[in-house]
Amino acid sequence: MRSRKLAVAVVITASSLVVAGCSSKGAATSTGAGASGTLTIGAAVSVTGKLAREGVLTKEGYQLCQEKVNTKGGVDIAGAKVKLDIQYQDDTSKPDVAAQLVDQFNDKGVKLILSSYGSANTEAQAAVIERNGQIMVDSAGADNKIFSKGYKNTFAVLSPATEYASSIVKAVAELATPKPKSVVFLSADDGFSKTVTEGGMKTATTLGLKVLDPQYFPNGTSDVSSALTKVKGEQPDVIIGSVHLVEGVAIIKQAKELGVTPAGFGESVAPPTPDFAKTLGGQAENVLGSSQWTDATKGTDKYFGSAKDYTKDIQAKFSHAPDYHNAEASAACLALVLAAEKAGSSKPDAVRAALSGLDTESFFGKIKFDATGQNTYKPMSVIQIQNGKAVTVWPTDSAEAKMIWPGTK
Amino acid sequence: MSAFLQATIYGLLQGGLLALVAVGFSLVWGVMNVVNLAHGGFVILGAYVGWEMHQWFGLDPFLGMFVAAAVMFVVGYALQRLLINLVINGPIFITLLLTFGLDLMIVQGMNLVFSADYRSIRTSYASQSLALGSVRVPLGRLLAFSLAVGITLILVAVMNRTRTGMSILATGMDRGAARLMGIRARHVYALTFGIAAALAGMAGAMIGTVGTFNPSAAASFTLMSFVVAVLGGLGNMYGALVGGLVIGLVQAWGGQYLPGTWVNALAFLVLIVVLIFRPTGLVGRKYYAARLEV
Amino acid sequence: MPTLTKVPQKRIFSTLQGDQARRLRPWALGLVVLLAALGLQGQLYSGQERTVATIFMFVALAQAWNLIGGFAGYASFGQVVFFGVGGYFTAVAMSHWHFNFWTSLLLSGFVSALFAVIIGIPLLRLKGHYFAIATLGVAEGMREVVTNLTDLTGGGAGITVPTVGSNATTAYLGNDGFYQLFLGLAVLSVIISGLVARNKFGYALRAINQDEDAAAALGINTNRMKVLTFALSGFITGLVGASYAFQQVTIFPERLFDVDITVLMIIMVIIGGSGTVLGPLLGAVALQFLSEFLRQNFTNLHTFILGAIIIVAVVLLPQGAVNYVNEARRTKEFSLLANVRKYRL
């Protein structure tokens, strides 16, 4: 008896769903500017998961941008000022979730997107952006691979991956005396780090350095002893790590444990972060690093002012010194805002055209995109940890201090 | 030759630390049939306790680890007594499910309280190394290794010679019979879990000294504990130590003679091969193999 | 006259009552649910379709795990290896060998099944914990192998299925197409699970689960049954992995061999009720829906809340939802607290 009633109930519910399904759903609400005086931008950031730390820094950058723009009245679109509203979702550090969130934003009519953190997430998002006709400004996905697929709707404000190690090599070749003869790359095996290594090796060969065989290790490992032991015998002058924070700290720590002493160390990503100097203490002294931005970067813009102003603002709002991840996120948001202003509209096509033609200075440096959508016009800075602080040493026109060489005693 | 020696020494030291991380996990799985997916979370929690002790009181982490052990013991005891005991009679994977939920809460809790910043407990001596010829023996790791071996030996002694230890083993073998003998099973289970958590916390404090940590590192420690515990074999207190040393050596030698990215694949290959030829692990006891019901 | 008009009515209801009808009823209900799901598609926006497609994906994965873990009782902690093998086979076939998607899909299923047979033969001799960890070792090991075969699989940098330009062999299915594809896979997995549960094959598996030696003594070829089940489970999981690879376009080893996926599968089966047909289905839908809902609405706290909900659900229903309902209907005892008392120490 009961089961018959249950069966009938299920049939009725299901049939009504089928009938309802045959009619069309309402059109997706569009929330462009002018609809309610707000410019809505979608951002999928990694609040949880293994990229949580960088994800939070990215979110902070977006948040500061929103605050700065709205304090000045908002985004100036075709004469009217509209408030900037950035909506956040957590992609749990997974590329498939990041891509799914882009689709969900699209459903709600949010066509302008700020990227998630990291090359893997950004790559996944870029594919969906292209299919949906949305526009994305990439704040943290540096891998050149993303831009070799012919995507037209993604623009990166940050310098591409190939520059990370290349800039260190260039700095060392230019400023280090005595000039080092050999260099070896210790690299994690993820796509971004491998691109960094490739770029660095090419530059090193062009500049006449002897490039020893690179050593790879699993991404995220805290034990790089095998790689260090293997290169110890070859006695390289410079060891460059294409790594993220965990492997970067491991290289310095274990090099000391194993007695590996080149003339200097250089690493991508890790040294400019505050965690690096904090966790290593004295061992971090004189390690070189490349950064997308430092507080000595030249350039100003109407929302953030100069790099020094930016540093003050981040310190005031988030109680820590800014990391370049903060800066690149704010710069991405800035680019999108400036493009919307330039286009006088928030429609994707107009914004894309505006972004392609954007050529402006900012607290982040020059923002201009080449034909593939990458910002090849902004050089990376090379920093060195001196007395526990990261100071810019290259390019020489924005250097705060002289490079100390050799870096290890 | 010196590269081989260096790799061997380094691998042994690393293995000892892995063993300490895994020993609590092995104890809980072997004795109570509880798969504790939050084990890595306990390790990292211990690391944070050690870090806080160092930060606030300047306490050396090798002393701070005892504080971590005490704190984690209380946490573990409470969790078992109040929460996990509620489902112990259920199908075995229920504890897995419960600890999964617990792990989500612990890791995200740490994320919220401590933020996802990477930390490390700095000591002046941990990165120094003793030089034996051309081979370097890092001091911090040597200390961690010695402590790991020492603690395992103490654990074995406690398990086999004290009444508490024997009551734990007895309850593990046959809970009903143990209760008939007057052993308070709820308390004993809670004690076991507390000890396991304390060991994890201690290992965490040491990990915090020789490496960097943040909440998302918990998962890899849980995974590593799985591998080490099963490789060594359940039901034998030395299992984790043996498993840890083997994994440490395999990874160090593998890293030396193969391209660096194959080390993890090699570790898993060794695990599978050992399990195929010795189904109960290297030194495990046969009885413990059969007790899995879904 | 009155009796004549009544008879047809009685006969309609009686067709739903008979023994044969009782066996057909689940299929009829299933058909209705399927139609409802298809109807639902018309109501959803494109991004929501993608979310629901993920729910279907987990239904299929959970059902596949239930075959080997629930029915046969061999808990495979490395189930994701079939997901990854299927996914990577499709990605490699489509990008390097220019196969079209449907061929790759079918082949991926068979390759995963073959892989299951290869690892099943040595590993299914292990029992309990050791089988679980051995399969975990295989999954993790395969991830490392795939990461290292850079020329074939792109290694850590990932591999991209060509979906635009001249290299694309099959048009991208879009959120609509993938919704239907994953729905189809979910339906397939439920049908297979239902068929297995109700015939001799399923009975053999349950016998193996309860007492393998006794089952062997009854003349069941336990080795063959176990390997076959493992292969079937691998086949379905491989199909799902292949579809996922096409949907994601660019795949990475650490995502396609992620142990989290296995853990989620196991949890969905256990929460729903392992060893049943409806259990994995309900568990997958409930858990995935809940986690998606929490993530959208509680950006900072969602994992914390999900963990708390799981703990409460586990403490109240340790045997899984479907088993609880079956027991409660049988014994007429619905109190949850009584349920807790049954399972606690």
CB pair distance less than 8 Å for B271 and C304:
no
- Domains defined for chain B, CATH in brackets: 2-290 (1.10.3470)
Assess whether the previous peptide bond of A178 is cis (omega < 30° from 0). Answer: yes
Instruction: Determine the residue of chain A that is closest to B5 in CA distance.
Output: A229
Over residues A227-255, the mean pLDDT reads 92
pLDDT of A16 reads 61
A234 touches chain B (CB under 8 A): no
CA angle B153, B155, B159 (to 5 degrees): 120
Other CB atoms within 10 A of residue A245 CB: 22
pLDDT of C13 reads 52
Q: Are B255 and A227 in contact (CB under 8 A)?
A: yes
Distance CA B71, CA C301 (A): 25
Q: C-alpha B22: how far from its chain's center?
A: 2
Amino acid in the structure at residue A56: V
Token pair recorded at residue C90: 């499709």
Test mutation, B100, B188, B250, B280, chain C, max C CBs within 10 A:
B100
pLDDT of A275 reads 86
B20 or A34, which is more confident:
B20
Over residues A72-85, the mean pLDDT reads 90
CB pair distance less than 8 Å for C16 and A89:
no
Answer positive or negative: Cα dihedral of C203, C205, C207, C213.
positive
Q: Where are the beta strands (DSSP E) in A15-97?
A: 38-45, 75-77, 80-90
- Domains defined for chain A, CATH in brackets: 38-159+296-368 (3.40.50.2300), 162-291+381-398 (3.40.50.2300)
**pLDDT band per the 50, 70, 90 thresholds, residue A18:** low
CB pair distance less than 8 Å for B252 and A226:
yes
Distance CA C291, CA C112 (A): 29
Q: Where are the beta strands (DSSP E) in chain B?
A: 129-132, 135-138
Maximum C-alpha span of chain A: 93
With a CB-CB cutoff of 8 Å, which residues 144-173 of chain C face chain B? 144-145, 147-148
Question: Which residues pair with residue A156 across a beta bridge?
Answer: A138
What are the tens digits of pLDDT across the range C285-342? 999 999 999 998 888 889 899 999 999 988 888 888 888 888 888 888 777 777 777 7
CB pair distance less than 8 Å for C308 and B93:
no
Give me the numbers of helices (H) and strands (E) for chain A, helices first please. 12, 16
CA distances from C295 to A48, C26, C289 (A): 10, 33, 10
**Minimum-distance CB partner of C33 among A14, A25, A88:** A14
pLDDT of B123 reads 84
A196 or A32, which is more confident:
A196
Maximum C-alpha span of chain B: 60
Q: Are B43 and B203 in contact (CB under 8 A)?
A: yes
**Minimum-distance CB partner of C47 among A90, A92, A104:** A104
C146 or C338, which is more confident:
C146
- Domains defined for chain C, CATH in brackets: 29-275 (1.10.3470)
Chain B residues within an 8 Å CB radius of A280:
120, 122
Q: Would the pLDDT of A22 be above 80? A: no
pLDDT of B170 reads 86
Positions of chain B with pLDDT lower than 50, given as ranges: 289-294
* Percentage of chain C lying above the pLDDT 70 cut: 94
Dihedrals phi, psi of C267, to nearest 5 degrees = -65, -40
Label the pairing between strands A215-217 and A238-242. unpaired
CB pair distance less than 8 Å for B112 and C75:
no
Q: C-alpha C252: how far from its chain's center?
A: 21
* Percentage of chain B lying above the pLDDT 90 cut: 38
Distance from B121 to chain C by nearest Cα, in Å? 27
Token pair recorded at residue B60: 């050396």
Q: Are A242 and A271 in contact (CB under 8 A)?
A: no
Distance CA A80, CA A66 (A): 17
Q: Would the pLDDT of A48 be above 60? A: yes
Q: What is the mean pLDDT of chain C?
A: 88
Chain B residues within an 8 Å CB radius of A56:
115-116
Chain A residues within an 8 Å CB radius of B116:
52-53, 56
Q: Are A111 and A32 in contact (CB under 8 A)?
A: yes
Please classify residue A278 by burial: count the beta carbons closer than 10 Å to its beta carbon, then call 0-12 exposed, 13-18 middle and 19+ buried. Answer: middle
Instruction: Determine the residue of chain B that is closest to A53 in CA distance.
Output: B116
Distance from A42 to chain C by nearest Cα, in Å? 13
Residues in chain A: 409
Give me the numbers of helices (H) and strands (E) for chain C, helices first please. 17, 2
pLDDT of A34 reads 42
CB pair distance less than 8 Å for C43 and A99:
no
What are the tens digits of pLDDT across the range A155-177? 999 999 999 999 999 999 999 88
Label the pairing between strands B135-138 and B129-132. antiparallel
Q: What is the mean pLDDT of chain B?
A: 88
Q: Which helix (H) or strand (E) holds A291?
A: strand A288-291
**pLDDT band per the 50, 70, 90 thresholds, residue C182:** very high
CB pair distance less than 8 Å for A20 and C43:
yes
Of C17, C76, C71, C40, the closest CA to residue C203 belongs to C71
Q: Would the pLDDT of C168 be above 80? A: no
Token pair recorded at residue C3: 């009796």
Chain A residues within an 8 Å CB radius of C299:
47, 88-90
pLDDT of C118 reads 95
Q: Would the pLDDT of A27 be above 50? A: no
Q: Would the pLDDT of C90 be above 90? A: yes
Chain B residues within an 8 Å CB radius of A90:
none
Over residues C95-118, the mean pLDDT reads 94
What are the tens digits of pLDDT across the range A316-343? 999 988 989 999 999 999 999 999 999 9
Which residue intervals of A207-323 are DSSP H helices? 225-232, 245-258, 274-280, 307-318
Q: Are C137 and B272 in contact (CB under 8 A)?
A: yes
What are the tens digits of pLDDT across the range C204-234? 999 999 888 999 999 889 999 999 999 999 9
Token pair recorded at residue B2: 């010196």
Contacts of B18 (CB under 8 A, 6+ apart): B224, B228, B243, B244, B247, B248
Instruction: Determine the residue of chain C that is closest to B226 in CA distance.
Output: C133
pLDDT of A258 reads 87
Question: Which residues pair with residue C42 across a beta bridge?
Answer: none
Over residues C131-145, the mean pLDDT reads 91
B264 touches chain A (CB under 8 A): yes
| Strand, coil or helix: A185 | strand
Over residues C100-110, the mean pLDDT reads 94
Q: Would the pLDDT of A20 be above 80? A: no
Contacts of C337 (CB under 8 A, 6+ apart): none
What was the ipTM of the complex prediction?
A: 0.86
Q: Would the pLDDT of C129 be above 70? A: yes
What are the tens digits of pLDDT across the range A247-265? 999 999 999 888 899 999 9
CB pair distance less than 8 Å for C255 and A190:
no
* Percentage of chain A lying above the pLDDT 90 cut: 64
CB pair distance less than 8 Å for B111 and A225:
no
Over residues C111-115, the mean pLDDT reads 97
Distance CA B172, CA B177 (A): 10
